[in-house]
Amino acid sequence: MAELEGLEFGKSDFVLLDEVNMEQFMENLKLRFEKARIYTFIGEVVVSVNPYKQMDIYGKEAIDAYRGRELYENPPHLYAVADAAYKAMKRRAKDTCIVISGESGAGKTEASKYIMQYIAAITNPSQRAEVESVKNVLLKSNCVLEAFGNAKTNRNDNSSRFGKYMDINFNFNGDPTGGHINNYLLEKSRVVQQQGGERNFHSFYQLLRGGSEEMLGSLHLQNDPVNYVYTREGAASTTSNNDRSSHRAVLSALQVIGFSEEEIDSIYRILGTILILGNLQFETDSESVQVVGSEAVSHIAGLTTTEPDNVTKSLLYRTVATGGGEVIEKGHTEKEACFGRDAFAKALYERLFCWIVARINAVIEVKDYNPVLHGKNTVIGVLDIYGFEIFDNNSFEQFCINYCNEKLQQLFIELILRQEQDEYQREGITWRHIDYFNNQIIVDLVEQPHKGIISVLDEACLTVGKVTDTICLESMDAKLGQHPHYTSRKAILLIHIPQHFLSL
């Protein structure tokens, strides 16, 4: 067990508690936090408490202390987990995975970066140029993905608004040869609307506040976020991130990764298009709807290399297929045009983000690998999803990620609590049974076929005719109203928040 720290710092492994209950758990966690010990083991799991400040517990000296050591030879640390995963992969020639979970603001994104930095620091001792290049791109990809996938929320200045699973490939020597990034559930609704006091994605503010006059001029933009509907809400929000310096860092990272000047220009042209789109207004002229002003349409056409008439047509009309196979154009109402504009902006940003991820993957993927010549290729996976959060108005993406966190909690229960106690029972070991809340009932509430929340939403989407939020809510209440962990919000349909069990 990890007992290298004095007792004045509390128990460095919760397994060593005299009594396992919530009071002692929280008391020990509080004592360690007050003594600047933000990490504590639970067996092979590390519990981390975000200090919301820089701490001098990382860097080369700390890396050297944990390199090659067994898990309990040093005080609890992220580096201990990263080193254990690396050693397990190398010794057994088997893939390993590090799962980082917790509620929003817990420090998951920073933890994933420290893990990546540790793995980069302990590999490639011979300093081979091609391996160093792979490591550099893997590290720089974090900077780019944070800019386009993170945002300031009311709980976290740098909150990941997407899920990320990164595979790091290693050769038989244990040196990184490449990687692959999978992204999940980008919160694209944030592009057009944010909660009070929150910001849009960092990329917009970095461009507006950090872009040169020449760049902004070419994009027909001004350097004040308050001038744009999609960034106005967060324009006055204070944040610990410096948008100007972050913009320079992102440009540098894009170049290091291998984006061409033309590709970088295209990225910012799309951001400019989205910002101008948000300012478009519509008006009803007799029986038809028109775009107010033609200058913005011309700017969008120029940035997207299309004709102004085509831009106007796509904003004001939709194509409808008739029963006989004929395709006709139908004009939008003013409200429909606004919905279409916002849907277009969200789709543009999501496709831009996915393209950036795909472009990074094309650079870091393992190339020309032959197992016969190069030996077995193994992987360390790092899962970093955005955290559990309850807003006044939860987006569908947040509902999905809350559900994902419930599934991760269920995995934790299975691996740490249930299986461990089942093993004690099989081996006849005497122990005091630990009661815990099995959140399978919460998982079933969301995913159960024909009865769960997702099934109800599916049925509503497949129903012929106009299905309103109220009708969908009534359907949920009818099917789920008696469930002990379901609470209906009668006044207005919000994505439901089941009463849940949330891990630290």
The catalytic residues are 104-105, 109, 156, 159-160, 387, 389
Whole-angstrom distance, CA of residue 9 vs CA of residue 31:
7
Handedness of CA 147, 149, 150, 151 (dihedral sign): positive
**10 Å Cβ neighbour count for 75?**
19
**10 Å Cβ neighbour count for 275?**
25
Burial 121-146 (b: 16+ CB within 10 A, else e): bbbbeeeeeebeebbebbbbbbbbbb
Whole-angstrom distance, CA of residue 180 vs CA of residue 134:
11
Instruction: Classify residue 241 by its DSSP letter.
Output: S
Burial group, residue 23, by CB count within 10 angstroms (0-12, 13-18, 19+): exposed
Is residue 102 within 8 A of residue 412, CB to CB? The reply is no
Whole-angstrom distance, CA of residue 203 vs CA of residue 188:
13
208 alpha carbon, distance to own chain's centre: 23
Torsion of CA 129, 115, 52, 8, to 10 degrees: -130
Residues ≥6 apart with Cβ < 8 Å to 392:
195, 494
Residues ≥6 apart with Cβ < 8 Å to 17:
11, 24, 25, 28
Q: Dmax of the chain from CA atoms? A: 83
Structure tokens at 326: 């004929």
Write down the residue that tokens 């793995």 correspond to.
119
Please give the span between the terminal C-alpha atoms of the chain, in angstroms, as a whole number: 21
Residues ≥6 apart with Cβ < 8 Å to 288:
316, 331
Is residue 316 within 8 A of residue 331, CB to CB? The reply is yes
**What three-state secondary structure class fits 103?**
strand
**10 Å Cβ neighbour count for 244?**
12
**What three-state secondary structure class fits 219?**
coil
Structure tokens at 328: 């006709």
Whole-angstrom distance, CA of residue 88 vs CA of residue 82:
10
